[in-house]
A and B are shown apart, each in its own frame.
Chain A
Amino acid sequence: MGKIAVLTNDLQADVVHKTPERTAAMAEAQPRFVHFLEEMRRRGHGIYHLQLVNLPDDPNVERDFDGTLPLQRGSEGAAILGDFLDPSDNVVEKNKDSGFYETELHDLLQKNGVDTVLVTGLQTQICVQTTAADAFFRGYNIWVPSDCVVSGDPEARDRSLEWLSGYCATVATSEEILATLDSDGELARKVVKILP
């Protein structure tokens, strides 16, 4: 049986506080999100924070109104928020929506024997969704704790969870996931349409 890892997406000030809606959504989710990460660590599962860093020469990066590049490497706004970070956690830089896109994440997870990933963070309909899809294509068993994914657009978040559940992931609350781990000792793989 492979190991389980939690992947967080974009828990960084420049992302979380980009809009008041996101800030409010994160404030609502943060207590149970932090609790979930603590409980997963306590059970011995690895936490991998995907840290979005914008590259200055990426033509598709969305700049601020004044032309400033947000999420620059080493900046305060790009740092993983301290409330979610533990010294035992891994931080993996990414430069695009999916945490697997030209990053070391897959190699790291393989090296550590991980076969199940719990995808969390924000925004649900972009980075969470694409990272989950990418993980699915790479053969991982995907779970998404529905109350540890965040979006400034609740409708988009709900559509995204529906998509994840429909195509590639088991969606459950963090409480349900912890209870399943405690009762079954594992997270069963969702039976999905067989890919060619």
Chain B
Amino acid sequence: MTTPAAELGEVVLDHGSGTQLSHELLALIVETLGDVYIGEMEDSAMLPIAAGQIAMTTDSFVVDPPFFGNGDIGKIAVCGTVNDLAVVGAKPLYLTLGMILETGLPIARLVQVLTSIRETAREAGVQIVCGDTKVVRKGEADQIYLNTAGVGVFERTPLRMRNVRPGDRVILSGPIGNHTVHLLSIREGLGFEQRVLSDCAPINGMLDELFAAVDEGDVRSVRDVTRGGLAAVLHEYAGAVERTIRIDKEALPIQFETLMATDMLGIDPIHSANEGCVCLFVDPSAEQKVLDALRAHKHGTGAVVIGEVTEQDGALVLMRDAEGRDSVVEELLGAELPRLC
């Protein structure tokens, strides 16, 4: 029988000391993760994997607050790593799960995070293969930090920045800025958190459907629009291909309330972090096919073309306004917006 949340107590230092309390916590973690956990308690997970190239990535998660309106740090920890694998064209298979817990964290809260991890892993079709739990004293961490590393396999040609060519269309899979506004609004109680939700989602399913609908090479490269926002992604690509990228300001998908909030806060949605939005560079002849495939998926209904890679040298990012005037999109030196993921 499941123990009621209120009776689970709080995390104590011995939950991380390798003693009986550690084993009890581990049993709870394994039970909560359910069928997405396939670890065998060896010192390393031993996994079947097809011959060929694999993709591997890692990410740490310190989001503040760790529990928000439509998600939590567990959901972000799965999505962040799954999405990093998916955007290079890999099929995400396995994740590790490292947890740093602050003494005093209600275990019911930990169960909430683990439940999110389980549900998001199920949606993404990945399994947790091993993990680690450390406990620190009160004040040495903020409730819970996570790390996930991920392994994926390539069943298609990897997508690389260098594939991008002049003339390629730049497509966003959905609105930008929502994750940042949602979190900042909860931190300060700004009133936007009910109207603007985080976009946090695993996007590998959407990309699978996209790749099945288009020809190899139609999608040149994909990047998830996380820290640094769209501006950072565009600058990376402009630098990598040494061409100027021009985007259309009017085409940027920004929710009205998000625009209100960013205008109030003095931040720009194009510099804001997201957790479920991808930027795609696409052969112009495949533009409509790509849009149709993205829009057919629940995480891509807001997909739009926002610009193109020009022939112009210079590695600039330009934004064209409604009057046809171009302005340079600067890359921020710093954003002073910590702990958004």
Contact = CB atoms under 8 A, between A and B. Distances in A.
Interface of A: 59-60, 94-98, 100-102, 129-131, 133-135, 137, 160, 163, 167-168, 193, 195-196
Interface in B248-278: 255-257, 260-261, 263-264
A101 B191 contact: yes
A137 B257 contact: yes
Contacts of B190: 96-98, 101, 130, 133-134
B68 interface: no
Interface of B: 64, 142, 187-192, 194-195, 255-257, 260-261, 263-264
Nearest to B143: A59
B256 A95 contact: no
Nearest to A125: B264
A54 to B, nearest CB: 12
Given A59-B142, A163-B263, A163-B264, A97 B189 contact: yes
A59 B66 CA distance: 12
A96 B255 CA distance: 24
A168 B257 CA distance: 11
B189 A137 contact: no
B263 A134 contact: no
B188 A137 contact: no
A133 B189 CA distance: 11
A160 B190 CA distance: 14
A97 B188 contact: yes
Given A97-B189, A134-B191, A137-B191, 16 more contacts: A59-B64, A60-B188, A96-B188, A96-B189, A97-B188, A100-B191, A133-B190, A133-B260, A133-B261, A133-B264, A134-B192, A135-B191, A160-B264, A163-B264, A193-B256, A195-B257
Most chain A Cβ neighbours within 10 Å, of B142, B192, B255: B192
Given A163-B264, A193-B256, A130 B191 contact: yes
Q: Which 8 A-B pairs have the closest CB atoms?
A: A96-B189, A134-B191, A101-B189, A98-B191, A130-B190, A130-B191, A133-B191, A97-B189
B178 to A, nearest CB: 13
Most chain A Cβ neighbours within 10 Å, of B187, B189, B190, B255: B189
B264 A129 contact: yes
B136 to A, nearest CB: 16
A12 to B, nearest CB: 16
B133 to A, nearest CB: 23
Contacts of A94: 189
B337 to A, nearest CB: 13
Contacts of A96: 188-190
A85 B325 CA distance: 53
Most chain B Cβ neighbours within 10 Å, of A59, A101, A163: A101
B64 to A, nearest CB: 8
A102 B189 CA distance: 9
Nearest to B189: A96
A196 B189 contact: no
A102 B192 CA distance: 13
B263 A137 contact: no
A168 B191 CA distance: 13
B232 to A, nearest CB: 26
